[in-house]
Amino acid sequence: MDNTFIRALDLKFPIIQAPMAGGATTSALVSAVSNQGALGMIGAGYLKPDDLRHQIKQVKSETNASFGVNLFVPEHYEIKEEQIEKSKRLIETYELLLNQQVGEPSLPNRETEMCIYEELIQVVLDENVPVCSFTFGIPSKETIQTFKRQGVFTIGTATNVSEAIAVESLGMDAVVVQGSEAGGHRGNFLCDSNESMIGLIALVPQVVDQVDIPVIAAGGIMDGRGLSSALCLGAEAVQMGTAFLTCKESGAHPVHQQAILLAKSEDIVTTKAFSGKDARGIENQFMKEMKEHEAVLPPFPVQNALTQNLRKLASQQKNPEFMSLWSGQGPTLAREETVEQLINRVANEAALILDRIRL
């Protein structure tokens, strides 16, 4: 099999560790993945430029292999005062439930966000990071050209065929195709998230037929069955998130890890409650009770800023009912193990399946 993706990045395995923003992708996780011959990714979506620079240096000190950074492309959004006020009042009741005096949240500002985004890009360039992926949209043509001139391998994220075509048209080197199975935030940017809830078994072949760049399948892939099946669909690699969240090297909160290890796939739903953007995770009290208000919540990243205190409080108090417990649809396949064990298990199982199964 001619796999341009793993050749381009000199990987041993066609596996990317999903760049989960919010603390899970510690340097220990990223470097352990890269040292095993898969691709470790720093989820830099919520990082400050200096913190990203620090983490990149840390990863470089721990591995000589390829690794990457993922950035959120800032989106346009409208601020409506009445939405913000309503959402604040709702969130306050939960903060009080956790017995905490409520502080005024600091709201995001698009200009500042754009500045930070540009600075993060500069850090990736300065530090000669081999791979940069983007989600929540596509970067400008100029940004891609700058990356290409410096030899950075760029990856876009798409949730349907049109978005994958947009990623390829921009000149990016590969596309992560996010199936409806995926945990965490939806990466849709050309359509609403309902129009892009497409299962990988249907989505991957349809994308592969329309683009020439390598397709990376993401969503619900937890073991060698998922990896081998994605390769049969025409993907050149898989991106796995939830499977890495429960690894010993992951920076995910132990409460989050335990919640995944105990969850059933029926418990995993989508919600806008935590961030204003659809994301998939384990249903809890906050998600259930906020469901009826979803239509009037402020958009991402405003709602995300508004729930920040609550999520922090809940984490400190180890209270899963108010934490964002992101997970894909395959939680019963998650295990507590090291990155080395996970990658070897997945790769060996996939190799065995592909050796054995015949029609």
CA–CA gap between residue 265 and residue 333 (Å, rounded): 10
Shortest Cβ 359–a second copy spacing (Å): 4
Q: Is 225 in the site for a second copy (CB under 8 A)?
A: yes
Q: Which stretch binds a second copy (CB under 8 A): 19-27, 83-91, 213-221, 301-309?
A: 213-221
- Which 3-state string (H, E, C) describes 239-255? EECHHHHCECCCCCCHH
Q: Which stretch binds a second copy (CB under 8 A): 80-88, 114-122, 314-322, 344-352?
A: 344-352
Considering all CA atoms of the chain, what is the largest pairwise distance in Å, rounded to the nearest integer? 64
75 touches 300 (CB < 8 A): yes
241 touches 33 (CB < 8 A): no
Q: Which is nearer to a second copy, 70 or 160 (CB)?
A: 160
- Copy the structure tokens of residue 158: 């798409």
Q: Is 181 in the site for a second copy (CB under 8 A)?
A: yes
Q: At what angle do helices 224-233 and 200-208 cross, to 10 degrees?
A: 40
Shortest Cβ 333–a second copy spacing (Å): 6
CA–CA gap between residue 268 and residue 264 (Å, rounded): 7
With contacts defined by CB under 8 A, how many residues of the chain interact with a second copy?
Answer: 60
Q: Which is nearer to a second copy, 1 or 81 (CB)?
A: 1
Q: Which is nearer to a second copy, 124 or 350 (CB)?
A: 350
Q: Is 265 in the site for a second copy (CB under 8 A)?
A: yes
Beta strand residue intervals within 46-111, DSSP E: 67-72
Beta strand residue intervals within 255-332, DSSP E: 268-271, 279-282
Q: Is 205 in the site for a second copy (CB under 8 A)?
A: yes
Shortest Cβ 208–a second copy spacing (Å): 8
* CA-based end-to-end distance of the chain: 19
Q: Which is nearer to a second copy, 21 or 215 (CB)?
A: 215
Q: Is 209 in the site for a second copy (CB under 8 A)?
A: yes
CA–CA gap between residue 26 and residue 34 (Å, rounded): 13
DSSP type of residue 240 = E
Q: Is 279 in the site for a second copy (CB under 8 A)?
A: no
Query: Position of tokens 């969130």?
Result: 91
Shortest Cβ 242–a second copy spacing (Å): 9
Which stretches of the chain bind a second copy, using CB under 8 A?
1, 13-14, 160-162, 179-181, 191, 194-206, 208-209, 217, 219-223, 225-234, 264-266, 269, 328-330, 332-333, 347, 350-351, 353-359
